[in-house]
């Protein structure tokens, strides 16, 4: 009826189409990163792209296509839930990768976990020696 409304509709369609294609390209970028990066840490860097920004773009495309306001809080809850769970699993995988030495040390710019690990190992060794001394007495 009103050409302004149909023009706005076309623009919303265009925006959601761009969101969908860019979100899909982020998935492709993650796959290329998984295939080409040399070790676990850099692959983790690539893997996070579709989980956070890609999902955000695709959920925004759903919200734009549905043309209703009540759907946005539901989509926000879905995205925030992903945002809360992804760092925890990435932390666990990164720790496990560090402990099992699945990393190329020469590629690291900084290793802030090294000092913590050394300190904990020294602490544990000191405690073991202390316990042995008490047992012998």
Is there a contact between 83 and 52 (Cβ–Cβ < 8 Å)? yes
Unique residue bearing structure tokens 């295939």: 35
Nearer to other proteins, 92 or 107 (CB): 92
Q: Which two tokens stand for residue 99?
A: 């402990």
The residue range among 1-9, 104-112, 121-129 that interacts with other proteins, by the rule CB under 8 A, is: 121-129
Query: What residues from 78 to 107 belong to the interface with other proteins (CB under 8 A)?
Result: 78, 81-82, 85-86, 88-89, 92-93, 95-102
**Does position 125 bind other proteins by CB under 8 A?**
yes
Cβ proximity of 49 and 26 under 8 Å:
yes
Q: Are 61 and 19 in contact (CB under 8 A)?
A: yes
| Cα 44-16-3 angle, rounded to 5 deg | 170
Q: Provide the binding-site residues for other proteins, judged by CB under 8 A.
A: 13-14, 16-17, 20-21, 23-25, 27-28, 30-32, 34-35, 40, 43-44, 47, 50-51, 54-55, 58-59, 61-62, 64-66, 71, 74-75, 78, 81-82, 85-86, 88-89, 92-93, 95-102, 117, 121, 124-125
């Amino acid at each position: 009826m009103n050409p302004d409304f149909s023009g706005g509709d076309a623009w919303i369609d265009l925006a959601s189409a761009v969101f969908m294609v860019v979100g899909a390209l982020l998935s492709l970028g993650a796959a290329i990163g998984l295939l080409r990066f040399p070790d676990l840490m850099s692959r983790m860097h690539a893997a996070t792209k579709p989980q956070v920004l890609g999902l955000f773009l695709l959920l925004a495309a759903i919200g734009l296509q549905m043309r209703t306001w009540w759907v946005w809080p539901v989509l926000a809850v879905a995205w925030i839930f992903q945002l809360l769970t992804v760092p925890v699993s990435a932390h666990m995988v990164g720790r496990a990768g560090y402990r099992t030495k699945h990393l190329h040390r020469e590629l690291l710019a900084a290793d802030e976990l090294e000092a913590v690990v050394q300190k904990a190992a020294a602490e544990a060794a000191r405690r073991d020696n202390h316990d042995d001394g008490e047992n012998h007495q």
